[in-house]
Structure 1
Amino acid sequence: MKSNNERVYKMSFASVYPHYITKLEKKGRTIAELNEVITWLTGYDENAIQQHIDNKTNFQDFFAQAQLHPNVSKITGVICGYRIEEIEDDLMRQVRYLDKLVDELARGKAMDKILRK
């Protein structure tokens, strides 16, 4: 399990971002909506998101520099077979928060609900 986590932490955000876009565009969602969700979660604006992509920042550094939204604990449920609120590793939980938000966007959930308003 630990080695799998390490693999995820070293993965660049830039390598995963296009997969998020593909998944969302197939479902009729936009890059702007994706960036809105990422901004809500991390505090990064579009320029900062683009810098992380350009710099090929890995997930470990991506989340280390983020200012997580105070309502992230409201992100619950199952993603990739794991219940988010039971993931003990902080960094893996943060990565799964992002996965969950992208998943909710792809499933057509309303933005207010995704952003836990």
Structure 2
Amino acid sequence: MLRLAAESSVERSKLAYERLRSSAEETTETLESAFKVASDGQTAINNKAIDLLRLNANSFFDLAKSLTEAKSLSEVVVLQTQFARTQFETLSAQAKEMSGLVQKVATDTAAPLNAAAVRTFGSKPDLAA
């Protein structure tokens, strides 16, 4: 009788350990996946920021060249005004583009975590509560 109880206890302990180990492995895989997505996303954001910086710097250099070739003060004013208007529109579009990219990276990064929450809780937890 005592032996049977001990064997049963050992078996339950083995099962509990196996569930714990499996859960820990799944959690590790989920976190690794989320970190990989976040890292790749951050690289994409950095690359996009560098590209936009390069484009904006080239625009400023083009303006500087145009200003040095201007024949009159009124032409300088026109060039500067056109540049300011164009640059405002460009920067506004770039800000929207970066915002969209950041939002996509955040959503993609959260996807493995949301999937794990659904597996664990049956639905995505309400974090606003």
- TM-score normalized with structure 2 length: 0.26
Q: Which has the higher contact order (CA 8 A, sep 6+)?
A: 2
Counting helix residues as a fraction of each chain, which structure ranks higher? 2
Larger radius of gyration between Structure 1 and Structure 2 = 2
